[in-house]
Amino acid sequence: MKMTGEQRIAASRQAVWEALNDPEVLKQCIPGCQSLEREADERLKATVAIKVGPIGAKFAGAVTLSDLDPPNAYRISGEGQGGVAGFAKGGAEVRLVDDEGATRLTYDVQAQVGGRLAQLGGAVIDATAKQLAGAFFKRFGEIVARPSEAAAAEQGGELTSGAGR
């Protein structure tokens, strides 16, 4: 499965970069994430519980960051075992560019599943992946933009809802 997307985040590129490398921020954004801990500078250990169609599974796995180009881009790769449900592995190229006082985050994702999950069919897996990615980036944008919006409020700036972003 391949998927691409982008999101405009109301924060500086440096702030977005720092959040992309912060396990606590990522844990709050990953749907079903139960734990996310740094094992080494560029390696994280994760436990995530998700449901794909009728199959629910708890995945234990590792996430690796590579091709780091701070604060512009990196590659994030991961794989996890979900017991009898099967396995999932994949990666994403993530790029950040300045966008009129905000940051535009773009991503290209490739993922594979095996075992019982693979038997569900591409349409179910694709729909679930898109829903999970959408939930992740919506939450990520909310969390990263929050400090910027709080600072603007303190300085008397106006806050806008997330509508239309």
State both tokens at 131. Answer: 């829903």
- In the predicted model, is pLDDT for residue 148 greater than 60? no
Q: What is the pLDDT of residues 53-101, one digit of tens each?
A: 888 889 999 999 999 999 999 999 989 999 999 998 988 999 999 999 9
Find the helix or strand (DSSP H, E) in which 134 lies. helix 122-154
Single-letter residue type at 4: T
E-strand ranges in 12-162 read 33-40, 43-52, 55-69, 73-81, 87-99, 102-114
Per the document, the length of the chain is 165
Distance CA 137, CA 141 (A): 6
- Domains belonging to the chain, first-starting first, are 2-151 (3.30.530.20)
